[in-house]
Amino acid sequence: MGLFSGTAPYYARFRPGYPQAFFSDVVTRFALNGTGRSLDLGCGTGQLTIPLAEHVEQAVGLDPDPGMLAQAAQQARAAGARNLTWIQGDAADLAGELGRFRLVTMGRSFHWTDRERVLRGLTGVVEDEGGLVIANDGCMALAAAPWQAVIEDVQHRYLPPSSYPLQSPNPSSSSRPSTGLSPSPGPSSSPIPRLSPGPGPGPGSGSGSGLRTRDELRSNGGRRRATEPQSPRAPRTSAEPQTASAPRTSAGRQDVAGQQPESHEELLARSAFRDVTPVVHEFERIWTVDRIIGYLYSTSLPLRRLLGDCRPAFERDLTTALLTAVPTGRFTEPVTLKVLIARRPP
């Protein structure tokens, strides 16, 4: 069972997207003008793939989890984006078989892969004038504000440390297979209504953006232009990008051998894409109790499965604790989105 098995409906509905300033910066840096191709590795439910599809001729999303891809296709149909192709596969094994791309993106995903192997595979995939975008914005449940510490406290009350699965910051991507979509949760006996993953933003419509095989991708590119999706609850950007040194993505975490893993920058420095520009976007996200709980059910920690019959009590206690901390029910998260723009040296 994969790290994200069964989380796809929650991931699609409750994982936040990226700020417009981030997309505008990427479009400008890579001169995206409706031509060329983009590849999103570990695309999840398409938070990066779909908005960028408007700016390229063809966008490809690759992920090992069929549940994630099914949700991504639904989101693309709802957005009217019809120049996307979704492929189930491993980032390290398939990238070289998909043709060449102007832009390869990895949002909240690079640390889950065999990073050196992925970078080697991308050497022959990225066009000479193209490059990589690696974006990470951390985890909402990690305490940066007092109310976030409440989440950690309640989780630890229900799940002792021994319950948490060992997660390497750089596991082999083979550790993330999937069993697909999980059934929607049934009715709850808790006084707090149980969250249902439900559909993603907007109704699903249209006939494009289905799952494809590699052979279908080669023979039928599906090259119709897309429109940018309108994302509800879009994060507010409070600062334009600035050049800064990006810290280690996996700081404070150790690999299975107990060694501090190399940073993304250190690995990139040994790769073909060693011309690296770090960019930082700082902004705020606003959360509600329901969105916080939904987000927790979207993470690689299989929280819903680990909670079992304790889920209603967990939701009730977390709701009480959060509203005690912030009675307005409006939770502000300070977000730092760290981006690495990586190209071949001039």
Q: What is the pLDDT of residue 198?
A: 40
DSSP code at position 329? S
Q: What is the pLDDT of residue 303?
A: 82
Q: What is the pLDDT of residue 306?
A: 84
Beta bridge mates, 106: 134
Q: What is the pTM of this model?
A: 0.73
In angstroms, the CA 195 to CA 339 distance is 32
Residues 200, 67: contact at Cβ < 8 Å?
Answer: no
At a CB cut-off of 8 Å and minimum separation 6, what does 261 contact?
168, 169, 170, 250, 253, 254, 255
Continuous segment of H or E residues that includes residue 14: helix 8-14
Q: What is the pLDDT of residue 13?
A: 92
Task: Give the three-state DSSP class for 339.
Answer: strand
Straight-line distance from the first to the last Cα atom of the chain, in angstroms, rounded to the nearest whole number: 43
Could you say which architecture CATH assigns to the domain 8-343?
3-Layer(aba) Sandwich (3.40)
Domain ranges of the chain: 8-343
Which tokens go with 17?
């997207």
Task: Give the three-state DSSP class for 215.
Answer: helix
pLDDT of the chain, 346 residues: tens digit per residue: 455 667 788 889 999 999 999 999 999 999 999 999 999 999 999 999 999 999 999 999 999 999 999 999 999 999 999 999 999 988 777 656 789 999 999 998 888 788 888 899 999 999 999 999 999 997 777 777 899 999 989 998 998 666 554 444 443 333 333 222 222 223 222 222 233 344 333 323 333 445 654 445 544 443 333 333 333 333 333 333 333 333 333 333 334 445 668 889 999 999 999 999 999 999 999 999 999 999 999 887 768 888 889 999 999 999 999 999 999 999 999 999 999 999 999 9
In angstroms, the CA 69 to CA 44 distance is 7
